[in-house]
Amino acid sequence: MIIKEILQKEYAVSVKEITEIDGDINYSNRKYLIQDIDNINYILQIYSDPDELALAKEEERIISSITPQLDFYLPETITNSHNNAFTPTGEGVFRLKRYLKGTFLSETENNPNLLSKLGKCAALLQRELSAQKSDKISARRLFWDIQYANFSFDKIKYISDPGLRKLVSYYMNLFRDNVLPELYKYRRSLIHGDLNCDNILIENNRITGIIDFGDMSESYLINEVAIASCYVMMKADNPFKDILSLVQGFHNTLPLKKEELKILPELICTRICISLCNSAEKKANKTATDYTMVSERDGWELLKLWIETNPLSFAQNLLDTCGFCSDEYKSDKAQALERRHNISSRSLSLSYKSPIYMEAALFQYMYDKHGNTYLDAYNNIPHVGHSHPRVSEAISRQQRKLNTNTRYLYDSMAAYSEKLLSYFPTRLNKVFYVNSGSAASDLAIRLARNYSKNKHLLVMEHGYHGNTSTGISISPYKFDGKGGSGLPENISKLSLPNMYNGKFDTPDAYVNEAIAEIKRLEINNISPAAFITEPISGCGGQVPLAPGYLNSLYSYLEGSSTLKISDEVQVGFGRLGSWFWGFEMHNVEPDIVILGKPMGNGHPVAAVVTTNDIADSFANGMEFFSSFGGNPVSCEAAMAVLETIEEEQLQKNAFEVGNYYLDNCKQLQLQYPIIGDVRGEGLFIGIEFTNPDGSPATAYADKIKNHLKEKFILTSTDGPFDNVLKSKPPLCFNKSNVDRVIRALDIFLKQK
């Protein structure tokens, strides 16, 4: 009851009720809501830390000097009986403030008019603060201050969900690498530093007060706008639109510079991340209070929306709103096309009739230069998601340290190889590194030919294994296709065991045909060096090899000198959900495995995994050397991919989301007879379109692919008749992404 007595004695306030206000317990001052017997409210702050008291005195000085110039309320300190703002007591130093009446902005819906007024008031306040100086406040280093976002890096680890942690890591890295080094060029000033919606008072659609100057600091002026924006966006239904009113209101009163506006999105996002890191730390340390957790849910919602928003379009809207010309964001596609044709062969194709001019990508989203965001339902190279921070970090960390070749000893290759090989049957215990799936196929064939001393190869109809001379010679997709020169010497092509509309009705019939070919070769004294196939034929139109086919054929070849090669470039690394490798799906064990695409999430690393015997026989005196293969940077990238698959449980996600995807496609198939077949495993899916007369609906598949593009969804078509829609998205694809694809498909199917 000492507080009561002091308030009576020093302030002549007769207290009825005292309630402690839940603050950030990091601060050593305490805060109370006081109600007097006439039901008038006050805020009492009690300082016990001399540094905080010194800052509070500076705050008091500044507030009293700027208040007269403003037409809204700032916190008003009531002086004591000696006419002082601070009262030293045995309990600490007291400071009593009038409780400002009004509703908090957090309690109302956003409306453009009010947000514009908020922008204006923030600018008016900022104008006054810019004229103030305080060494003590300038010396402050608050982790909340966006310029010190690096203080929060250590807290990222407290975000327990790895799928959420990667979002914060990505944006914090972006701030550290792209924004922070440039910040020194921007305007500095004292700023309020915490214009959150609980610090803004409103009445009758007007801003009546701004409170809580406890986070005042010297920072970059634009950070004030970023902080206000961050909280308004968190409570908005339409954050990327609402924010424009606020920024415009600010800019009309205190003009922002073009360069400041350009980095505003990153700054807003960084502040959300700081807040999320803080909540995560508090949760982990069990010191979370309602106060500290208040922004958490809204923060995550906003961040998830953020990744779906093209950063160029947001920056462009901000510039347009403030009357700046933003032509640099308007790219000329025709010019880019011409430039490309000038320097490269037309044998390089572009997807879609009107190609997409890409700017950036993040996780399962891609952003073009015209402000659009695409859902990537197609790209299986960024396996763990585009621009995954763990992979980018691994690459840049190692690149700064050491990048060399396999003629030196270093740890990354051994460490990665051990981890990679732990995913294989023990017999497959040697790995060679190269830089593309093509180089891996090429090497696999060399290994097989060297081991067996034979030349002939068995390949699968429609198969594709690479762009080298050997790659083309073992790829019917190429040698049978446009510009191809037909079946080469030393190659036997086996029929694709396709149970939907293949040549035979049973897997056995395919096996028998293959065995007949092997026997025919035998009669001619030819023993194949290897049989190469994908477990699910990608270029054949996502066709899983008929159940039992591979098992029977492998059994037949067992004991012969024909090696079995599984090309896992498309399907490996957990994509199939139920299995980490495609050969496991067929319950077989190959002698050689080819790895590529997803292995480095886009970093060019590929490999051949094989047995001790095969690897040993290759060591015949001729050195195997690949300048880049197995270099430390590639190994670190590949390691980061495996770790991410594990940490984010992406194989499980591929299973769950993949099944959901397949089930939904099968539902569509029941409704629309043009869908002849839905097939695949996990996130490796094909939808085959077939006309009523049984012919391939090639033109229809093309239309649907282009329709999906218009709905900003990326897919592709493939198969011998190009009538199979392929979807093999990054493994972070989620069920709501699937819903979006299904909805778009449904709309198209309904129309036609």
Binding site for ligand PMP (CB under 6 A): 436-438, 441, 464-467, 534, 538, 567, 569-570, 596-597
- Cβ neighbours of residue 523 closer than 8 Å, sequence gap 6 or more: none
Nearer to ligand PMP, 437 or 590 (CB): 437
Tokens of 94: 């007291």
Smallest separation, CB 553 to ligand PMP (Å) = 18
Nearer to ligand PMP, 464 or 684 (CB): 464
**Cα distance between residue 419 and residue 593, in whole Å:** 16
By DSSP bridging, strand 713-714 and strand 373-376 are: parallel
Q: Is the dihedral of CA 282, 288, 293, 294 positive or negative?
A: negative
Smallest separation, CB 467 to ligand PMP (Å) = 6
Smallest separation, CB 573 to ligand PMP (Å) = 13
Nearer to ligand PMP, 155 or 465 (CB): 465
Q: Is the dihedral of CA 230, 236, 240, 246 positive or negative?
A: negative
Smallest separation, CB 191 to ligand PMP (Å) = 50
Nearer to ligand PMP, 471 or 632 (CB): 471
Nearer to ligand PMP, 74 or 539 (CB): 539
Smallest separation, CB 565 to ligand PMP (Å) = 11
Q: Are the beta carbons of 416 and 433 closer than 8 angstroms?
A: no
Output the DSSP codes for 619-639: -SSSPP--SSTT-HHHHHHHH
Smallest separation, CB 571 to ligand PMP (Å) = 8
Smallest separation, CB 598 to ligand PMP (Å) = 10
Tally of CA atoms within 13 A in the half-sphere of 608 that contains its CB: 27
Nearer to ligand PMP, 538 or 590 (CB): 538
The one-character DSSP state at 100 is P
Burial 294-309 (b: 16+ CB within 10 A, else e): bbbebbbebbeebbeb
Smallest separation, CB 734 to ligand PMP (Å) = 25
Nearer to ligand PMP, 218 or 534 (CB): 534
Q: Are the beta carbons of 582 and 543 closer than 8 angstroms?
A: no
Q: Spell out the long-range contacts of 1-7 with Cβ–Cβ below 8 A and sequence spacing 24 or more.
A: 2/89, 2/90, 2/91, 3/32, 3/44, 3/46, 3/91, 6/87, 6/89, 6/91, 6/94, 7/34, 7/44, 7/94, 7/96
| Residue 563 three-state SS | strand
Smallest separation, CB 547 to ligand PMP (Å) = 20
Smallest separation, CB 435 to ligand PMP (Å) = 8
Residue with tokens 């606020």: 246
**Cα distance between residue 508 and residue 289, in whole Å:** 66
Nearer to ligand PMP, 155 or 597 (CB): 597
The one-character DSSP state at 208 is E
269 to each of 166, 238, 377, 511, how far by Cα in Å?
14, 16, 26, 57
Nearer to ligand PMP, 192 or 726 (CB): 726
657 to each of 100, 573, 734, how far by Cα in Å?
51, 16, 6
- Cβ neighbours of residue 480 closer than 8 Å, sequence gap 6 or more: 462, 486, 487
Nearer to ligand PMP, 389 or 600 (CB): 600
What's phi and psi for 442, nearest 5 deg?
-60, -50
Burial (CB count <10 Å: 0-12, 13-18, 19+), residue 358: exposed
Smallest separation, CB 570 to ligand PMP (Å) = 5
Nearer to ligand PMP, 292 or 470 (CB): 470
Smallest separation, CB 597 to ligand PMP (Å) = 6
Q: Which helix (H) or strand (E) holds 519?
A: helix 507-523
Burial (CB count <10 Å: 0-12, 13-18, 19+), residue 713: buried
Nearer to ligand PMP, 165 or 575 (CB): 575
Which residue number places its CB atom closest to ligand PMP? 437
Nearer to ligand PMP, 299 or 596 (CB): 596
Nearer to ligand PMP, 538 or 686 (CB): 538
Q: Is the dihedral of CA 320, 322, 323, 329 positive or negative?
A: negative
Smallest separation, CB 390 to ligand PMP (Å) = 22
Nearer to ligand PMP, 85 or 569 (CB): 569
By DSSP bridging, strand 592-595 and strand 606-611 are: antiparallel
| Residue 78 three-state SS | strand
Smallest separation, CB 572 to ligand PMP (Å) = 10
Smallest separation, CB 378 to ligand PMP (Å) = 12
By DSSP bridging, strand 713-714 and strand 606-611 are: unpaired
